[in-house]
Amino acid sequence: MADRNQHASTTNATDDSSASRFSHLTRTARLPVLVACLTAGAFVVGTNWRSTDAADPPAGKKSPAASYAQVYLQLAEAQLAYAEHMNSESARTFSDEQLAQYRGSVQIWQKLLKQEKLSGRFDRTAAILSLAEQRLQAAQTELANAETLNKDNPGTVPSQRLKELQAYVTLAQLDTAAGKAAQSGDPTTQLRWRVATLENELMKMRKEVDLIRRTQQ
């Protein structure tokens, strides 16, 4: 009986440790994605990205906007490479879903650079919509993972956290729907949506940073 109780205690401790590690890694691994989306969003909100606004850049040189986009692409590629390197050192440090988010960031910037190269202009609303869709997918994945964790180990994720994750999904759904509607709206409507989306991401990022700090204390 004593051996059985000791085994149960060891199992529970392992489950608690696993759940804690899962929660911490999920937050810390997702933070670079949030930062990348936030900085990208700030860039496309505040930049009139049209390489044809002024004189064409000299032959063989990129427009300033394309140069910025190239750096953001390099940042996204570096983040993906780091995640893959960490997984090679310790399997599942970053989940398949998190890796998919990093790959999605790379694909978004590759798409934007290709668009700028082909047309000489950049659709800022479409760009932020792509980022909003990525955040929606990430929020849905995180909620699904939390629900699965609770199914395997009941009570691991507090009900309050599940409600918060569901609220993030709903907010991302509203952002995405509003962005799709704004695409056919006037410039003022599009700008208001872009600013509102950026404000929502700032609010979420502050919350996530606070959670990470608490887990590290």
One-letter-per-residue 3-state SS of 177-195: HHHHHHCCCCHHHHHHHHH
Helix (H) / strand (E) element for 65: namely: helix 64-89
Which among 36, 123, 112, 119 is positioned nearest to 69, based on CA atoms? 112
Q: What per-residue confidence (pLDDT) applies to 169? A: 93
Dist. CA 115–CA 121, nearest whole Å: 8
Counting the structural domains of the chain, the total is 1
* Residue 19 counted as domain residue: no
The per-residue pLDDT for 78 is 92
The backbone torsions φ and ψ at residue 82, rounded to the nearest 5 degrees and listed phi first, read: -65, -45
Query: Which pTM does this prediction carry?
Result: 0.62
Write down the number of H helices and E strands in the chain.
6, 0
Determine the pLDDT at residue 84: 93
Distance, CA of 186 to CA of 207 (rounded, Å)? 32
| 15 belongs to a structural domain | no
CB 63 within 8 Å of CB 57? yes
180 in Cβ contact with 136 (< 8 Å) = no
Query: Does the residue 208 lie in any domain?
Result: yes
Q: Among 72, 99, 74, 75, which Cα is nearest to 85's? A: 99
Structure tokens at 91: 């399997």
Domain with 98 in it: 25-216
Whether 64 is in a domain gets the answer yes
Instruction: For the chain, 217 residues long, give each residue's pLDDT as a single digit of tens.
Output: 544 444 444 444 444 444 444 444 445 445 555 555 555 555 555 554 443 334 455 555 666 666 777 888 898 899 899 989 999 998 888 877 778 888 888 888 888 888 777 776 666 677 778 878 888 988 898 899 899 999 999 999 999 989 999 998 998 899 899 888 888 778 888 778 777 777 777 776 776 667 666 666 6
Does residue 158 sit within a domain? yes
User: Does residue 18 lie within any of the structural domains?
Assistant: no
